[in-house]
Amino acid sequence: MQNSCRIPVKDFMIYKEFLITADPYNADLLSGILWELDITGLSEEVNCLKVFSSSILKNDIEVLLRNLVNNKMLRTFNVEENFIEEKNWNEEWEKSREIITISERIIIKPTFKDYHSKPGEIVLTIDPKMSFGTGEHQTTKMVLRLLENYIKPGMKVLDVGSGTGILAIAAVKLGADSVIANDIDEWCYKNSIENSELNDTTNKIDFRICTINEIEEDNFDLIIANIQKTILIEICRDFKTRIKQGGILILSGLLYVDEEDILQVYNTAGFTKIEGIQMEEWIAIVFKSK
């Protein structure tokens, strides 16, 4: 699941609200899938998800959920569509944001929340402007925890699909010497620079609007990509040509049912799995380049 960002054009707009129920109801699974759509906000309720958008159709949601049914991850679902009046979405979103503890060392906070750090803690200040890449989703949490284990001082890192910039910023704070972070979305590009400035990491991160095949640099010690399966399969060879021999590749944005296909592609390309972790239905895999 790419760490993509979507900044609303205006604070006040008329939106559609989709109420989504499912059996079994797994808010993390559903929210992770739904962020693939052009949604503006998402709220997890006790027994349903509320999704807000000014552009998507009810059928867009139903297509994704039917795919989960076909993969036997859901039995049934229902989507109810409502039109809602003007509201300050930035204000509503800020009310829902909390400080996130990723590990004993890594804490994520928005600028509008106070936090007094303890000795040795790494605090990431991230304002994602109603975006994916806040640190709340399992895929982001897993990659951050893996970075904590694999980043070594002086490393040269590539963050593909950087979104809010959270993983690139964390890599620098954990000791990386330099990071190239790319995304194809101009809003993400601007938001990642803002977040990097908040964390005093701009001198070590080169944010770019481009695809991976436009990156000429190679010999990276470590590459990160938190993107959906189809894209990870498409760009496997791009990773291989840019990573150094013995380099580390961390992939997430994957469901556990994706692992077999990913291993087949990446083993063939010359990567060896050295570790995998799982949170709910989501997985992250660590490869070493042969």
Where does CATH 3.40.50.150 sit in the chain?
96-289
pLDDT digits (tens, 9 = 90+) for 208-254: 999 999 999 999 999 999 998 999 999 999 999 999 999 999 999 99
Largest CA distance in the chain: 56
Residue 275 has pLDDT above 80, yes or no: yes
d(CA 132, CA 136): 9
Q: What is the DSSP string of 167-197?
A: HHHHHHHTT-SEEEEEES-HHHHHHHHHHHH
Where does CATH 3.30.70.260 sit in the chain?
12-93
CATH level 3 topology of 12-93: Alpha-Beta Plaits (3.30.70)
What whole-number percentage of the chain has pLDDT above 90?
Answer: 67
| Superfamily (CATH H level) for 96-289 | Vaccinia Virus protein VP39 (3.40.50.150)
Beta carbons of 24 and 68 less than 8 angstroms apart: no
Beta-sheet pairing, 156-160 with 220-226: parallel
Indicate the range of 8-17, 67-76, 276-285 predicted with least confidence: 8-17
